[in-house]
């Protein structure tokens, strides 16, 4: 009965995804992509590591931003996890993690300029919100029986360190490790808005069609991600964290005036700026301002965002089920798995934006490239996690092989975990739709980007808050569904 | 003043009643066995009793409630966290002190776990885990112990040693047990449960194995 | 160990304060990234060297990623001089009272946007606005660009009497002129708007196949790129500093340096030269 509910929920989401296809523009309009595709392919096989200005520096900066941002997020998130039962904390965390790192970076750029702090905070803030939530869930699920049996009056500190932390620790560690990989991706992507990480050069090279540079940058990034397990040793972390600030030293100075101006002027809606509080005309103008923003941008943006998200969610799920056997011990030998891992690293480490752009060359502008890019990217991430989970399954010695093994033994066993990951990823997909505005898909992120390009931070802020609320709503829905299906609220990683 | 005094107590999960109208009075010094088929409500009754009087009570849950990544020593040491300050406890978590090890040693020896003192609990066999949970309760000391099948995974001879130790450490004992012989041998009062109701409550002395068989029939 | 950490912390503080002290004295400029971004540093570091020599103060160039980032850095006083496009300059000067357009490129007095179309559209070059582009797919360049966004949108609204989102089947923002060309050339978009200087450069570089993409209309000329300087530079670097910067920019005649922009030479400019741009931006509501 429980299983059937999971299956029916899956079909429900499939149905919603198909329904959204009706509203999605999927036309293929490219006429001759081959010249550009040939240049891309040529670039791919002729990576030019020397052509990129300051390649080593960009790599170090990418690592430094990621490590410091994630580290700060871990510390703050752990502290918040301990008081996560407080409603204000829970809401605060939901809000900060509902906003994409790129948007945080854009906001901090306004306040702090191109400083190290901008990049670190842009990662640390949303990550702290995510860590707080996941850590608190892990701690809640760790050893509740042990905590129950402690003698009355053991004290919360002793109870926490003896009964909660030890069993939770391995999960906290593996989750944190997984987020380091995400942090590296985030750090690289922050280059798109001007921080001096790999993304800075990647985006430039891509825009200019210097595909040999693009492939050099991408290969370097793949190697960093693929070898993460080798160099990310617990003992080395303090060393890395000590070195990182030196890598980031320099940059512009932080000025309090800019921060004050941001809050007291920039994000105040234009009609109310420098208007008297009792000025009726200003408030009327504010009403019009709000209404126009909601009707012309927020509402259409919400619709496009949700349509894209729901289709990409289904696409990610389908691709996950295709991808995970590629890295699973249950299906492939060491050689096959290595190839599978390499494939998934490439697909999940290539920024969605680049995937989408390559596909745009193929199919022309429509929602299709965005859907496929998001599905590939997220399918590869969840496929990687489900694959690792499937390695841990205990199968009877006489289990069937091939497709029967897949359909009868493995998929039913990993399905709960698969759904848990997918629902976890739901809000992430929603956030990622933000950076695909380039394809002319007018998601909320597209309008936020426009407002920032026009230096209308009041509009940007208004739309960002709406984006955050939408995210919180989806997160709540996902939580409710997971609870209803009794899916682990915390995905097991490792 | 009885230790436990339930009057018409009800309990359930998700709207499904597990205990209905249970009245039970347990005096200081009594040794009570809760018997009945699985699902009769023994564990729920134990949990209910424990929640009524946490101070001075030690609990041995069926799922042994161990912290799997911590050693046997630490799991047993946890029985007395309430007697020390937080810093002292953290110090022993980081590195067990000689004097604390010495206090735990006799218990470990009595339970036959001396070779596993510093093995993480998660690496022990089911029986060893169960004994570790008993060790925690023994170390805790107090006036009441509530045990949910505390020897179900321990073999015959050792089960008796463990029950002896429990009987010696605690004045008042309430144990849920499925082994009728052990129940009759180690307790002086049998409370039989069926379908969430108390259907028998008699001194062990006059009972035989056959008298209890009815509890296990539908 | 404690000592070791203290030393590291100390040297971190020293090095950070050293770096910021050095920055405080440096005169910093930036440029909107409109083309050839891979070589932004190569292009503009040369200009920094030239300005350092001419002005006698340390001049640094910092690269930025977008038009908005250039304006923001200028506004936050992280850069003091900037090579802006017309629209970015107008925005910057509105945000920083007292700032001034001082120098523009020779070609910027009559800048032009090309409308380009894929061969399959059958659109031919014409003198009048190509009304046949209505209903097709269209890509602008960057959202904040004068030549890639502001002026083309202005003429589209003027002639098609509709917002671009309504006038076309689909509207994109390629982000950059070079990419606009690539996207129209591949047929991903049928029509696009591109800066005429970049078109000429790409043509020279052999990136354009005339059989696939061609210019179908040229906008009337409008003022575009200019150097804008903050109003408070004289108080920081001494009286007459703004005039010296202006002089140094106008005196830039080295063809290698000029190729960084790329311009034939520089001529004086003033804020009022850009009134038409401000009016256009206001008329299509890109500026409040």
What is the token pair recorded at A223?
A: 């190697």
Residue B117 burial by CB count (10 A; 0-12/13-18/19+): exposed, middle or buried?
Answer: middle
C235 φ, ψ to 5°? Answer: -75, -25
- Asked if A31's CB is within 8 angstroms of C118's CB, the reply is yes
| Cα-based angle A160, A163, A165 (whole degrees, multiple of 5) | 60
Chains B and A touch (3+ CB pairs under 8 A): yes
CA distances from A250 to A1, A247, A363, C236 (A): 61, 9, 43, 21
Quick check: B67 and A170 CB within 8 A?
no
Chain C contacts of A242, Cβ < 8 Å? 8
Q: Binning pLDDT at 50, 70 and 90, where does residue B18 land?
A: confident
Q: Please indicate, yes or no, whether residues B76 and B175 belong to a single structural domain of this protein.
A: no
Burial label for C25, CB within 10 Å (0-12, 13-18, 19+), is exposed
Q: What is the pLDDT of residues A250-261, one digit of tens each?
A: 666 778 888 888
Nearest CA distance, C102 vs chain A (angstrom): 23
Q: Does the beta-carbon distance from A440 to C39 stay under 8 Å?
A: no
pLDDT at A171: 86
Please, what is the average pLDDT of chain C?
Answer: 88
Separation CA C48–CA C29 (nearest Å): 8
Question: CA dist A355 to A24, A47, A148, A308, A359, Å?
Answer: 19, 18, 50, 16, 6
| C12, C78, C143: residue with CB nearest A453 | C143
Cα separation, A462 vs A460, in Å, equals 5
Q: pLDDT tens for residues A279-324?
A: 888 899 999 999 999 999 999 999 999 999 999 999 999 999 999 9
Domain boundaries, chain C: 2-108+224-275, 112-218
Nearest chain A residue to C209, by CA: A35
Whether the pLDDT of residue C16 is over 60: the answer is: no
pLDDT in tens, C160-201: 999 998 999 889 888 888 889 988 998 889 999 999 998 998
A162 shares contact with chain B (CB less than 8 Å):
yes
| pLDDT higher at C38 or A229 | A229
Q: Give φ, ψ of C267 to 5 degrees.
A: -135, 160
Q: Is residue A155 located within the same domain as residue A215?
A: yes
What the block records as the tokens of A13 is 């989401």
Mean pLDDT lowest among A29-43, A404-418, B132-146: A29-43
Higher pLDDT, B175 or A32: B175
> DSSP assignment of A167-195, as one string?
HHHHHHHHHHHHHHHHHHHHHHHHGGGT-
Statement to judge: residues A98 and A22 lie in one domain = no
Cα–Cα distance measured from residue C95 to residue C86, given in angstroms and rounded to the nearest whole number: 14
Cβ contact, residue pair C38, A454, below 8 Å: no
Instruction: Report whether pLDDT(A76) > 80.
Output: yes
Residue A162: CATH number of its domain: 1.10.3720.10
Encode burial over A396-413: b for 16+ CB neighbours within 10 A, e otherwise: eeeeeeeeebbeebbbeb
Partner residue opposite B81 with nearest CB, options A162, A166, A170: A162
DSSP at C193: E
Residue numbers in B near A169 (CB within 8 A): 69
Contact state of B93 with A159 under an 8 Å Cβ cutoff: no
**For the packed helices A334-349 and A367-391, what is the interaxial angle rounded to 10 degrees?**
140
Q: Do A33 and C172 touch (CB under 8 A)?
A: no
Residue with tokens 């008329």: C283
Compute the half-sphere exposure of residue C255: CA atoms within 13 Å on the CB side of its CA: 0
Strands C113-118 and C213-218: antiparallel
For residue B55, give every residue at least 6 positions away whose Cβ sits within 8 Å of its Cβ, in sequence order, or none.
A152, A153
Instruction: Work out the pLDDT band at C158, boundaries 50, 70, 90.
Output: very high
Question: Which chains neighbour A (Cβ–Cβ under 8 Å, 3 or more pairs)?
Answer: B, C
Report helix, strand or coil for A356: helix
Q: What is the pLDDT of residues A367-390, one digit of tens each?
A: 899 999 999 999 999 999 999 889
Is B60 within 8 Å of chain A by CB?
yes
Domain count, chain B: 2
**Quick one: A185 and A287 in the same domain?**
no
Chains B and C are touching, with contact defined as 3 or more CB–CB pairs separated by less than 8 Å = no
pLDDT at A1 over 60: no
Q: How far is CA A205 from the centre of its chain?
A: 23
Q: Is the pLDDT of residue A361 over 80?
A: no
Which residue in chain B is spatially nearest to A169 when comparing CA positions?
A: B69
- What residues of A are in contact with residue C284 (Cβ under 8 Å)? none
Residues B217 and B146 grouped into a single domain:
yes
The reply to whether B123 and B146 lie within a common domain is no
Whether B152 is covered by a domain: the verdict is yes
Domain with A372 in it: 1-31+270-494
The per-residue pLDDT for A409 is 84
In contact, B75 and B119? CB cutoff 8 Å: no
What percent of chain A is predicted at pLDDT more than 90? 42
How many residue pairs bridge chain A and chain C with CB atoms within 8 Å of each other? 152
Asked if residues A111 and A259 have their Cβ atoms less than 8 Å apart, the reply is: yes
Other beta carbons within 10 Å of A174: 15
* C19 has pLDDT over 70: no
Tell how strand C113-118 and strand C59-61 pair up: unpaired
Q: Write down how long chain A is.
A: 494
Question: Counting one residue from A and one from B, how many pairs have CB atoms under 8 Å apart?
Answer: 77
- What is d(CA A294, CA A408) in angstroms, rounded to the nearest whole number? 49
- Domains: count for chain A: 2
Query: Which pLDDT belongs to residue A494?
Result: 36
Is residue B157 in some structural domain?
yes
**Separation in Å, CA B196 to CA A173, B48, B87, B155, C86:** 43, 13, 44, 29, 83
- Distance from CA of residue A265 to its chain's centroid? 31
Name the burial class of residue A494, with classes exposed (0-12), middle (13-18) and buried (19+) by CB atoms within 10 angstroms of its CB.
middle
User: Tokens 């296809």 correspond to what residue?
Assistant: A21
**Confidence category of residue B218, pLDDT binned at 50, 70, 90:** low
Q: Which pLDDT belongs to residue A488? A: 59
Cβ within 8 Å, pair B67-A153: no
Q: How far is B182 from chain A (nearest CA, A)?
A: 24
Contact flag A204-C40 (C-beta cutoff 8 Å): yes
- Does B61 map to a domain? no
Per-position b or e across C71-80, b if 16+ CB within 10 A of its CB: bbbbbbbbbb
How far A483 CA lies from chain B's nearest CA (Å)?
A: 14
C6 confidence band (pLDDT: 50, 70, 90)? very low
Q: Give yes or no for residue A492 having a pLDDT over 60.
A: no
Is residue C234 a contact partner of residue C240, using CB atoms and an 8 Å limit?
A: yes
Can you list the pairs that A78-84 forms with residues at least 24 positions away whose Cβ atoms lie under 8 Å?
A78/A131, A78/A132, A78/A135, A80/A128, A80/A129, A80/A131, A80/A132, A80/A136, A81/A131, A81/A132, A81/A133, A81/A135, A81/A136, A81/A139, A82/A136, A82/A160, A84/A132, A84/A133, A84/A135, A84/A136
Chain A neighbours among C 37-76 (CB < 8 Å)? 37-42, 62, 64-69, 71-73, 76
d(CA A420, CA C205): 52
pLDDT value of position C15:
40
Biggest CA-to-CA distance, chain A: 80
Mean pLDDT on C95-121: 95
CATH topology of domain C112-218: D-Maltodextrin-Binding Protein; domain 2 (3.40.190)
C170 to chain A, any CB pair closer than 8 A? The answer is yes
Q: Do you know the residue count of chain B?
A: 218
Q: Kindly report, residue by residue over A171-199, the tens digit of the pLDDT.
A: 899 889 989 999 999 999 899 888 889 98
Is there a contact between A414 and A386 (Cβ–Cβ < 8 Å)? yes
Tally of CB atoms within 10 A around A22: 7
Q: From the list B54, B67, B86, which residue is nearest A163 (CB)?
A: B67
Listed residues A213, A244, A266: the one ending a domain: A266
Identify whether B164 is part of a domain: yes
pLDDT value at position C17? 39
CATH among 3.40.190.10, 3.90.930.12, 3.90.1150.10, 3.40.1360.10 for C2-108+224-275 = 3.40.190.10
Report pLDDT digits (tens) over B28-61: 999 999 998 888 889 889 988 998 888 889 999 8
Angle among Cα B60, B158, B77 to the nearest 5 degrees reads 40
Q: Which residue has the higher pLDDT, C115 or A169?
A: C115
For residues A207 and A125, membership in a common domain is answered with yes
C61: three-class secondary structure by DSSP:
strand
Check if A166 contacts B (Cβ < 8 Å).
yes
A297 in helix, strand or coil? helix
For B163, other C-beta atoms within 10 Å of its C-beta total 23
Residue with tokens 């990989």: A181
Q: Of B83, B106, B141, which closes a domain?
A: B141
Which backbone phi and psi does A215 adopt, to 5 degrees? -70, -35
What pLDDT digit, counting tens, does each position of A428-480 carry? 899 888 777 656 678 898 899 889 989 999 999 999 999 999 999 998 898 88
Residue pair C212/A32 in contact by the 8 Å Cβ criterion: yes
Is C22 a residue whose pLDDT tops 60? no
Q: Is the same domain home to A159 and A275?
A: no
Looking at the structure, do residues A257 and A308 belong to the same domain, yes or no? Answer: no
Q: Do A360 and C183 touch (CB under 8 A)?
A: yes
Give this complex's ipTM. Answer: 0.83
Q: Which of A148, A158, A159, A168 to mutate to test the interface with B (most CBs of B within 10 A)?
A: A158
Tell which wins on pLDDT, A119 or A397.
A119
Q: Considering chain A, what is the average pLDDT of its residues?
A: 87
Q: What is the pLDDT of residues C54-102, one digit of tens each?
A: 999 999 999 888 889 999 999 999 999 999 999 999 999 999 999 999 9
Query: Is there a contact between A197 and A65 (Cβ–Cβ < 8 Å)?
Result: yes
C-alpha dist (Å) from residue B43 to B36, B49, B50, B101, B150 = 11, 10, 10, 32, 12
What does R_g of chain C's alpha carbons equal in angstroms? 21
Q: What number of residues does chain C have?
A: 288
Is the same domain home to B162 and B137? no
Rounded distance between C-alpha atoms, residue A283 and residue C223, angstroms: 37
Q: Which of A142, A144, A151 to mutate to test the interface with B (most CBs of B within 10 A)?
A: A151
* CATH code of the domain covering residue B193: 3.40.50.300
In terms of CA atoms, which chain A residue is nearest residue C164? A440
Task: Supply the range of the domain harboring residue B3.
Answer: 1-56+142-218
Distance from CA of B214 to the nearest CA of A (A): 33
Percent of chain C at pLDDT above 70? 90
Last residue in a domain, options B141, B170, B205:
B141
Over residues A225-234, mean pLDDT? 89
């Amino acid at each position: 009965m429980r299983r059937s509910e999971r299956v029916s929920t899956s079909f429900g989401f499939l149905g919603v995804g198909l329904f959204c296809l009706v509203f999605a523009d999927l036309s293929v309009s490219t006429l001759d992509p081959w010249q550009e595709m040939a240049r891309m392919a040529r670039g791919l096989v002729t990576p030019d590591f020397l052509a990129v200005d300051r390649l080593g520096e960009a790599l170090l900066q990418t690592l430094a931003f990621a490590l410091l941002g994630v580290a700060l997020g871990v510390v703050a998130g752990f502290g918040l996890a301990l008081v996560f039962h407080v409603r204000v904390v829970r809401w605060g965390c939901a809000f900060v993690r509902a906003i994409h790192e790129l948007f945080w970076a854009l906001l901090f750029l306004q306040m702090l300029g191109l400083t190290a702090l901008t990049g670190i905070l842009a990662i640390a803030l949303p990550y702290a919100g995510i860590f707080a939530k996941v850590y608190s869930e892990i701690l809640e699920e760790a050893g509740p029986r042990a905590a129950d049996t402690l003698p009355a009056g053991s004290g919360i500190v002793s109870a926490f360190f003896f009964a909660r932390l030890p069993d939770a620790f391995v999960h906290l560690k593996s989750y944190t490790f997984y987020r380091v990989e995400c942090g590296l991706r985030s750090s690289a992507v922050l280059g798109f808005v001007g921080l001096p990480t790999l993304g800075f050069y990647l985006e430039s090279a891509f825009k200019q069609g210097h595909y040999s540079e693009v492939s050099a940058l991408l290969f370097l990034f793949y190697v960093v991600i693929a070898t993460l397990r080798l160099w990310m040793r617990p003992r080395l972390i303090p060393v890395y964290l000590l070195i990182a600030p030196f890598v980031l030293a320099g940059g512009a100075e932080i000025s309090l005036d800019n921060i004050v101006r941001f809050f007291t002027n920039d994000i105040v809606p234009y009609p109310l700026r420098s208007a008297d509080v009792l000025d009726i005309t200003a408030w009327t103008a504010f009403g019009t301002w709000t209404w126009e923003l909601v009707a012309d941008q927020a509402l259409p943006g919400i619709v496009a965002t949700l349509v894209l998200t729901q289709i990409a969610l289904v696409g990610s799920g389908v691709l996950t089920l295709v991808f995970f056997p590629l890295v699973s011990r249950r299906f492939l030998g060491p050689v096959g798995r290595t190839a599978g891992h390499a494939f998934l690293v490439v697909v999940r480490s290539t920024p969605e934006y680049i995937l989408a752009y390559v596909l745009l060359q193929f199919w022309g502008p429509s929602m299709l490239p965005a859907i496929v890019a998001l599905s590939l990217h997220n399918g590869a991430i969840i496929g990687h996690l489900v694959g690792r989970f499937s390695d841990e399954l205990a199968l009877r010695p006489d289990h069937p092989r091939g497709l029967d093994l897949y359909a009868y033994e493995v998929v039913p066993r990993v399905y709960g975990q698969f759904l848990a990951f997918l629902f976890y990823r739901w809000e992430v997909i929603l956030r990622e739709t933000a950076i695909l505005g380039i394809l002319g898909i007018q998601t909320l992120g597209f309008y936020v980007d426009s407002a920032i390009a026009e230096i209308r931070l009041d509009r940007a802020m208004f739309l960002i808050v709406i984006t955050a609320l939408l995210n919180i709503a989806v997160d709540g829905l996902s939580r409710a569904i997971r609870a209803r299906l009794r899916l682990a609220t915390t995905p097991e990683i490792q | 003043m009885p230790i436990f005094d339930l009057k018409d107590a009800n309990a359930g999960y998700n709207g499904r009643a597990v205990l209905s109208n249970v009245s039970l009075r347990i005096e200081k010094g009594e040794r009570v066995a809760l018997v009945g088929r699985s699902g009769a409500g023994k564990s729920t009754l134990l949990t209910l009793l424990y929640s009524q009087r946490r101070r001075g009570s030690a609990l041995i849950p069926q799922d042994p409630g161990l912290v799997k990544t911590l050693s046997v020593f630490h799991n047993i040491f946890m029985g007395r966290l309430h007697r020390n300050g937080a810093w002292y406890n953290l110090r022993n978590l980081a590195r067990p002190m000689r004097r604390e090890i010495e206090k735990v040693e006799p218990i470990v020896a009595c339970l036959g776990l001396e070779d596993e003192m510093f093995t993480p609990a998660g690496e022990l066999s089911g029986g060893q885990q169960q004994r570790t949970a008993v060790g925690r309760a023994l170390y805790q000391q107090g006036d009441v112990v509530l045990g949910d099948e505390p020897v179900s995974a321990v073999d015959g001879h050792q089960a008796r040693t463990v029950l002896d130790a429990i009987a010696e450490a605690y004045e008042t004992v309430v144990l849920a047990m499925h082994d009728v012989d052990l129940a009759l041998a180690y307790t002086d009062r049998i409370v039989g449960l069926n379908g969430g109701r108390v259907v028998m409550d008699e001194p062990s002395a006059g009972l035989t194995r056959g008298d209890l068989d009815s509890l296990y029939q539908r | 160990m404690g000592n070791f950490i203290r030393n590291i912390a100390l040297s971190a503080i020293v090095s950070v304060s050293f770096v910021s002290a050095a920055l405080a004295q440096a005169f910093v400029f930036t440029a909107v990234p409109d083309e050839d971004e891979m070589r932004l540093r190569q292009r503009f570091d040369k200009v920094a060297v030239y300005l350092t020599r001419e002005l006698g103060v340390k001049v640094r160039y910092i690269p930025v990623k977008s038009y908005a980032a250039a304006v923001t850095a200028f506004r936050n006083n992280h850069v003091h001089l900037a090579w802006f496009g017309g629209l970015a300059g107008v925005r910057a000067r509105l945000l920083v009272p007292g700032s001034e357009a001082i120098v523009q490129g020779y070609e910027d007095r009559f800048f032009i946007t090309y409308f380009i179309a894929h061969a399959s559209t059958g659109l031919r070059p014409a003198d009048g606005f190509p009304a046949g582009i209505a209903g097709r797919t269209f890509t602008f360049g960057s959202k904040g660009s004068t030549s890639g966004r502001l002026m083309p949108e202005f003429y589209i609204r003027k002639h098609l009497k509709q917002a671009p989102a309504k006038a076309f089947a689909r509207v994109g923002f390629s982000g950059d002129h070079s990419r606009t060309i690539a996207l129209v050339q591949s047929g991903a978009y049928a029509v696009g708007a591109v800066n005429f200087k970049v078109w000429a450069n790409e043509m020279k570089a052999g990136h354009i196949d005339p059989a696939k993409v061609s210019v179908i209309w040229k906008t009337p000329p409008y003022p575009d790129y200019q150097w804008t300087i903050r109003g408070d530079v004289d108080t920081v670097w001494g009286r007459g500093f703004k005039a010296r910067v202006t002089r140094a920019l106008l005196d830039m005649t080295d063809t290698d340096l000029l190729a960084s922009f790329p311009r034939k030479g520089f001529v004086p400019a003033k804020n009022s030269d850009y009134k038409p741009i401000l009016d256009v931006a206001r008329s299509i509501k890109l500026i409040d």
